[in-house]
Chain A
Amino acid sequence: MYIKDLYTVESLYRENMVVKGYQFGKGDKAACIIGSLRGNELQQMYICSQLVRKLKELEANDCISSGKEILVVPVVNAYSMNVGKRFYGVEQTDLNRTFPGSSYGTSTARLTDAVLQQIKDYSYGIQFTSFYMQGEFVPHVRMMETGYQNTSLANLFGLPYVVVRKPKPIDTKTLNFNWQDEMTAAFSVYSNRSDEIDENAARQVVAAVLRFLTRMGILHYESHSGYISHVIKEEDLTDIHARKGGFFRPFVKAGEEVRYNQECAEIVDPYEGEILERIVAPTDGIIFFAHTNPLASENEILFRLIHRLHE
């Protein structure tokens, strides 16, 4: 393993923030794995740390294919992580909305440009990222429909689902989109949560990445075959909204199967404790996303359901 400094951010009164890359193997830039871009992406950084630990072990056992290089960047935005902020710097910018960046732009643009320059030549790019809504996901691989996306490749992670999303204008500023623009086959891998550590989910994602690297000939490693992924389009998910604001009391979790009309949650009056609304499943399906904040506003998306899919 070779640790290299990818970029250094200077500060007046804080220690410099060094973006570190952990390189395994030597040769073709085969795969790059990026962890936390946002300060609350704790699970994402944790998964990377476990991946680094595992790759160290595999490298010591000569399991990295000769002529192949893997780079792991556990965290880009350590400054925000250390102060409990999601976004970056004094201007509180979302790094994952500032790609491709610019070497002569703002401090944020310089950071994202420097990172992209260091990672753009890898054949495969894997980013552990988070969703803007606070909640729990079924682990999945997400791809943007850029024209370059390849769901067959995404299947090789062996996670239960592959989601294809039509990019909105704002998505064009994400790492995933810009990585694909640089002709890297880019995948966003979603674990279940962001702001707390889930060991089982982390193990599942580490295994999925190792499985993918093995199938792409980058590692020699025996692993379970995983799932044959179910490919879904994001626009086909059925959203279940709250119609009242109050406490959110869920009865089902991400990954569970629900039946038509099954009670999934209640909205409870925050003052008097009475049930204001019973949230029922509008169709049979599997809970793909579940809101986890104990409070919910009117119109909040409480669940996203994979319509008429059974376990």
Chain B
Amino acid sequence: MVEKVVEMELPVGEKLSIIKNRILPDSCEKEYEETGMLSKKLPRIALVTGIHGDELEGQYVCYEIARRIREQKENLTGIVDVYPAINPLGIENAVRSIPTSDMDMNRNFPGDTEGDPTEQLAAAVVADIAGADFCLDVHASDIFVKEIPQVRVSEEFSERMLPYAELLNVDMIWMNATATVHESTLAHSMNLLGIPTMVVEMGLGGRINKSYGNQVVDGIFNLMKKLGIWKGEIAIMQHPVVSTDGEVEFIRAEHVGIFLPAIEHNHYVREGDLIGEIVNPVDGTVRERITASRGGLIFTLREYPVVTHGALLARILV
């Protein structure tokens, strides 16, 4: 059942609402509809996405989770709260930040009930998720680089989170990826509150990769089974590579130009293999040939061709 987590009046005839779909076992729906609560404690997972308006992979994940549960509702034994759009204005306007303030929603947690509108929205989301047994924050990459399905966990919470991360059917678990697990993020805030929370990243900003989405959805059902929320069959899981920052090689542009990749995403390279070229469309010259300094899996590859100094071209898991 779709509920409003928080709503806020915009200046001109519109309310901004953050919604969630609370999916309950059939046996509990009537009681919840009538009383707004349940007499018995059920395990609960919060699936959150759409914090960044340009990351849409989570839209498919939400759809597919709700669809599969509806088809096998008899297997649901807990509560699944789906939050499909934490930044609804960003999604509707195809921008990463909150359009009204230009603020990154994921730098405003845990929020403040007495703060500005963005902080109040963030605080309402945190309060609503509080009490869940698990929270999963689904992100895509930005529009510049493509990522394989991966879980990012901060070192601070790694010991506690690793067993959960291994259930999610992702290709990789990246420990201590500091940018994504920044202290002002939803994930960090929820972990500090004692709610085990992980961030999943996959695909590309502004796009949906159904194959990646299905892979992660299989993993979410596996996780829900371990949490006692699902009793249906689950797919065969793959074992992710677990890496630390020291095992990830960043490859960045040292020239401006147009990046033309010479390899496919999610493929292995050997040391010395050509990853791509940065070319100059004005005079037809190659400004930089980028080769792999170490062999490994290309788990990040640039999709947006225009590059400046420092632009991320690829990441190799060595």
Contacts and interface: CB of A to CB of B under 8 A. Distances in A.
Interface of A: 9-12, 86-87, 89-92, 97, 104-110, 132-133, 168-170, 239, 244-247, 270-271, 295-301
B219 to A, nearest CB: 29
Contacts of A110: 309-310
B142 A91 contact: yes
B9 A107 contact: no
Contact of B11 (A11, A90, A246): A246
A279 B309 CA distance: 50
Q: Which of A97, A244, A298 has the most CB of B within 10 A?
A: A298
Q: Which of B102, B107, B252 has the most CB of A within 10 A?
A: B102
Contacts of B11: 245-247, 270, 295-297
Given A107-B309, A110-B309, A271-B13, A132 B256 contact: no
Contacts of A97: 107
B310 A168 contact: no
Interface stretch (B26-34, B68-76, B114-122, B225-233): B114-122
B311 A270 contact: no
A96 B292 CA distance: 33
Contacts of A132: 101-103
B183 interface: yes
A301 B100 CA distance: 13
Q: Is the interface of B mostly helix, strand, loop or mixed?
A: loop
A245 B310 contact: no
A239 B114 contact: yes
Interface of B: 8-13, 16, 96-97, 100-103, 107-108, 114-117, 120, 142, 144, 182-184, 250, 252, 256-258, 280, 304, 306, 308-312
Q: Which of B11, B12, B311 has the most CB of A within 10 A?
A: B11
Contacts of A107: 308-311
A195 B142 CA distance: 29
Contacts of B312: 106
Contacts of A244: 9
A92 B103 CA distance: 11
Nearest to A301: B116
Given A10-B256, A297-B117, A298-B117, A168 B184 contact: yes
B117 A299 contact: yes
Nearest to B280: A12
B142 A298 contact: no
A170 B306 CA distance: 29
The 9 closest A-B pairs by CB, nearest first: A169-B183, A245-B9, A295-B11, A298-B9, A107-B310, A107-B308, A299-B117, A245-B11, A169-B184
